[in-house]
Amino acid sequence: MVQEATSSAAEANPVSTELRGKILLVTVDNPPVNALGVAVRRGLMAAIEGADANPAVAAVLIVGAGRNFIAGADIREFGLPPQQPLLTEVCNRIEASRKPVIAAIHGAALGGGLEVALGAHYRIAVASAKLGLPEVALGLLPGAGGTQRTPRLVGAKAALDIILSGRHVPAAEALKLGLIDRLAKSDDTLAEGLAYAQELLAANAGPRRSRDGTALADRAAAQAAIDAAKADVQKKQRNLFSPHKIVEAVQAALDKPFDEALKLERQFFMQCLDSPQRAGLIHAFFAEREVAKVPEAAAAQPRPFKHIGVVGGGTMGAGIAVAALDAGLPVTMVERDEASINRGRANVEKVYDGLVAKGRMTAEGKAAVMARFNGSTDYAAFQDVDLVIEAVFEDIDVKKAVFAELDRVCKPGAVLATNTSYLDIDAIAASISRPQDVVGLHFFSPANIMKLLEIVVPAQVSADVVATAFELAKKLKKTPVRAGVCDGFIGNRILAVYRQAADHLMEDGASPYDIDAAVREFGYPMGPFQVSDLAGGDIGWATRKRKAATRNPAARYVQVADRICERGWFGQKTQRGWYLYPEGSRTGQPDPEVLAIVDAERQRAGITPRRFSNEEIIRRYMAAMINEGANVVHERIALRPLDVDVTFVHGYGFPRFRGGPMKYADTVGLDKVLADIREFAKEDPLFWQPSPLLVKLVEEGKNFESLNKAAS
Ligand code: 3H9
């Protein structure tokens, strides 16, 4: 913490000044993260103007109050009419100051925050500070000189790496790169900043402007770095808008005088600001933070948890154990016999062996983590754990038997969680003596990598157990989404519906390869048939068989997937599924035999195939997803549309730049989506039943966003 200011002072003016000897201390105090809203910009401008005009001031020191220097432009202002002064003008004014300006950085100096520091003439940072230009993650580029000053200070290669990745650069690396001038010896930012300023004054150091930086002097090297970045963006970020503009802006830094290039940067920034991708990405940014705001977390304190139990050492159980170990928690795993627990331990170790092999962990590091892992075949090993996660075979009787054991051995107050993806958690909870302690924690595979965690809230659970689940998610660095109990919760329930829409499209005339290609073009990394091959077709097949008895006989049922599975073609692991994977290859090739099966099934069903354009494919695929998303919100399985969005962006590969399916629906227009559904319903009224919520919103002229706002 640098300096406290009273909240009333902060509200009055988020930028305060105070003369410390000859140094004007300028403190930005705009909680929670010192974002550069219009009042901060005005305050900074006035402070610099005042310093230049005041003969008693010899130097200026800019610091941030609270936990960060400055986290960037105020994202909430984007999309509103711009207010003067623009941040780029503020940075230019700081740089033009006739007196040396020093930025003393702690916490985050991100985006516009780093740009303010780059406008300053000297930069010192404490060791824990993080510097970065993460605008790319919001569909933007640094628009206040960041694309111009950064390459002039650190060269094109490092600048492009920082701007295109948006990563947070640790202070020590920033020093090495030349982004800052000094690493503070202590973490007292204010004292270090003042001392540095004194030292500069004593040495008669005047303003030293980043715009005059010489790191682009080797033009050939700079051009090579730009060309390489351009090729990389073409390959890996083809669908995104702002990375292309970032490369252009850095090219301008090389080719044009500073002021001219800065004007271009502003133009590019405005183009990004106007792009739907910016709206989608900023929606995702806020939605990811909103999801943690749930009634139970507001109403109750989490129970403390220090020691985690995991039942089951298969892929899921081991992944969950690794996620907890990675968060520094001790983990006890229980399996039914020696062979199984040995396999469970091996599954955990395999993850760390992989890291050691890649040089990302030392053998000692692995040993230290594994020392926190304990395997047992006896449930009594759980007597001290605070939270147990069950990840055994997906069968209600097997799960109930596990919960009976947990009920028997766990201490009072222990949280008892199930990782089921479909089963009725209310029934599991009701089968033991403490249903108030039972919650669903639906991890996604691989559990140590995937960010999404559905927190499933059964009827009898107590609020502090739900709050504990959200706290666990934070500790494990997961993105939690609150879900109600139903078959498939939020994600898998909606998936089941749009997956059927894909099957209908296939039987009606689009090939699985056409559908995958259209879905990839929309921005997904993979199409649904590729995903099925990756996950293993046998999993979906087992679910279909389980549900066969309860399926509505009047509902359309496409049998192609069953024909494929009956041949033992389960995807990558069997070297063929929807695609062929010769010699264990992971990129599939279209399979003429699959197309023949599809044809035969069309004939059996009496369907004359027709052509679908990519646009037609996406309209059906998305309409199915949005309609079921609306049902899920309508039934309060999801609290808000934004919870559906975060589920799909973090668990199902939905392109983040579109914000999520519900945000996408708002972008298209709910009336259009509803019109599509009604059109499709002419062919299959049972499948295409408009969600009552969608109908209501269209009638009221509202969008999904109106429900996000109402709930928060
Ligand atoms: C930019 O700078 C453009 C310029 O180049 C050009 C302009 C012309 N604005 O994340 P947390 C809120 S683009 C407004 O939970 P943490 C956040 O919503 C910007 N609000 O805290 C939350 O609100 P609530 C480039 C913001 O400690 C609260 O602050 N900068 C902003 O885990 C706490 O946030 C970025 O992209 C903002 N800029 O992490 C940095 N940032 O409590 C974005 C946060 O109501 N920010 N809020 O839910 C971050 O990465 C993290 O917030 C940070 C702190 C690492 C700073």
**Span 216-235, pLDDT tens digits:** 999 999 999 999 999 999 99
pLDDT at residue 486 in the model = 93
Name, in order, each residue with C-beta under 8 angstroms of 164's C-beta and a sequence gap of 6 or more: 136, 229, 232, 233, 237, 243, 246, 247
Residue 343 has pLDDT above 90, yes or no: yes
Q: Tell me, in angstroms, the distance from the centre of ligand 1 to residue 647's CA.
A: 21
Residue 8 has pLDDT above 60, yes or no: no
Q: Which of 33, 89, 274 to mutate to test the pocket of ligand 1 (most atoms within 8 A of CB)?
A: 33
DSSP label of 143: T
Q: Tell me, in angstroms, the distance from the centre of ligand 1 to residue 123's CA.
A: 22
Band (pLDDT 50/70/90 cuts) for residue 100 is: very high
pLDDT at residue 709 in the model = 79
Q: Tell me, in angstroms, the distance from the centre of ligand 1 to residue 69's CA.
A: 12
Among residues of the chain, what percentage have pLDDT more than 90? Answer: 92
What's the CA gap between 396 and 393, in Å, rounded? Answer: 9
pLDDT at residue 712 in the model = 46
Q: Do 106 and 189 contact (CB within 8 A), yes or no?
A: yes
Q: Tell me, in angstroms, the distance from the centre of ligand 1 to residue 12's CA.
A: 21
Atom of ligand 1 nearest to the CA of 76: 14
What's the CA gap between 314 and 441, in Å, rounded? Answer: 16
The closest alpha carbon to 136, from 25, 229, 200, belongs to 229
Give the tens place of pLDDT for each residue, 488-497: 999 999 999 9
The closest alpha carbon to 57, from 101, 120, 103, belongs to 101
Atom of ligand 1 nearest to the CA of 290: 48
Atom of ligand 1 nearest to the CA of 72: 2
Residue located nearest, by CA, to atom 51 of ligand 1: 71
Q: Strand 108-110 and strand 122-125: pairing?
A: unpaired
Q: Tell me, in angstroms, the distance from the centre of ligand 1 to residue 286's CA.
A: 9
3-state secondary structure 675-686: HHHHHHHCCCCC
Q: What amino acid is encoded at 473 in this protein? A: A
Q: Do 154 and 178 contact (CB within 8 A), yes or no?
A: yes
What's the CA gap between 629 and 341, in Å, rounded? Answer: 39
Residue located nearest, by CA, to atom 46 of ligand 1: 71
Mean pLDDT confidence for 313-322: 96
Residue located nearest, by CA, to atom 42 of ligand 1: 32
pLDDT at residue 80 in the model = 87
Atom of ligand 1 nearest to the CA of 108: 56
Atom of ligand 1 nearest to the CA of 113: 2
pLDDT at residue 546 in the model = 84
Mean pLDDT confidence for 414-422: 95
Q: Tell me, in angstroms, the distance from the centre of ligand 1 to residue 33's CA.
A: 6
* Residues identified as active-site: 115, 135
Mean pLDDT confidence for 632-636: 98
Residue located nearest, by CA, to atom 6 of ligand 1: 143
Cα 512 to Cα 255, 506, 556, distances in angstroms: 47, 6, 18
Q: Which of 74, 75, 78, 277 to mutate to test the pocket of ligand 1 (most atoms within 8 A of CB)?
A: 75
Q: Do 433 and 416 contact (CB within 8 A), yes or no?
A: no
Q: Tell me, in angstroms, the distance from the centre of ligand 1 to residue 67's CA.
A: 12
Residue located nearest, by CA, to atom 44 of ligand 1: 33
Q: Tell me, in angstroms, the distance from the centre of ligand 1 to residue 28's CA.
A: 15
| Average pLDDT, rounded, for the chain | 95
Mean pLDDT confidence for 104-130: 98
Atom of ligand 1 nearest to the CA of 143: 6
DSSP three-state, residue 386: coil
Q: Strand 130-132 and strand 108-110: pairing?
A: parallel
Strand partners, 108: 130
Atom of ligand 1 nearest to the CA of 87: 8
First-to-last alpha carbon distance for the chain, in angstroms, is: 29
Q: Do 478 and 446 contact (CB within 8 A), yes or no?
A: no
Give the tens place of pLDDT for each residue, 180-224: 999 999 999 999 999 999 999 999 999 999 999 999 999 999 999
Q: Do 456 and 466 contact (CB within 8 A), yes or no?
A: no
DSSP three-state, residue 457: strand
Q: Tell me, in angstroms, the distance from the centre of ligand 1 to residue 491's CA.
A: 27
Q: Do 220 and 162 contact (CB within 8 A), yes or no?
A: no
C-alpha of 261 from chain center: 32
Residue located nearest, by CA, to atom 48 of ligand 1: 289
Q: Do 357 and 363 contact (CB within 8 A), yes or no?
A: no
Residue located nearest, by CA, to atom 4 of ligand 1: 112
Q: Do 577 and 591 contact (CB within 8 A), yes or no?
A: no
The closest alpha carbon to 35, from 89, 93, 97, 116, belongs to 116
Residue located nearest, by CA, to atom 18 of ligand 1: 286
DSSP characters for 169-191?
EEHHHHHHHTSSSEE-SSS-HHH
Q: Do 634 and 691 contact (CB within 8 A), yes or no?
A: yes
Phi, psi of 30 (to 5 degrees): -135, 80
Mean pLDDT confidence for 565-578: 95
pTM over 0.75: yes
Q: What amino acid is encoded at 307 in this protein? A: H
C-alpha of 703 from chain center: 23
Atom of ligand 1 nearest to the CA of 130: 55
What's the CA gap between 701 and 671, in Å, rounded? Answer: 8
Q: Tell me, in angstroms, the distance from the centre of ligand 1 to residue 133's CA.
A: 12
Give the tens place of pLDDT for each residue, 245-263: 999 999 999 999 999 999 9
Q: What amino acid is encoded at 543 in this protein? A: T
User: Cβ of 484: how many Cβ atoms within 10 Å?
Assistant: 18
- Residue scoring higher pLDDT (330 or 80): 330
Give the tens place of pLDDT for each residue, 271-298: 999 999 999 999 999 999 999 999 999 9
Residues enclosing ligand 1, CB less than 6 A? 32-33, 35, 68, 71-76, 87, 108, 110-112, 115, 134-135, 138, 140, 142-144, 146, 286, 289
Q: Tell me, in angstroms, the distance from the centre of ligand 1 to residue 71's CA.
A: 6
The closest alpha carbon to 463, from 686, 339, 301, 609, belongs to 301
DSSP three-state, residue 6: coil
Atom of ligand 1 nearest to the CA of 32: 29
DSSP three-state, residue 643: helix
pLDDT at residue 540 in the model = 85
Give the tens place of pLDDT for each residue, 354-371: 999 999 999 999 999 999
Query: Structure tokens of 642?
Result: 């934004």
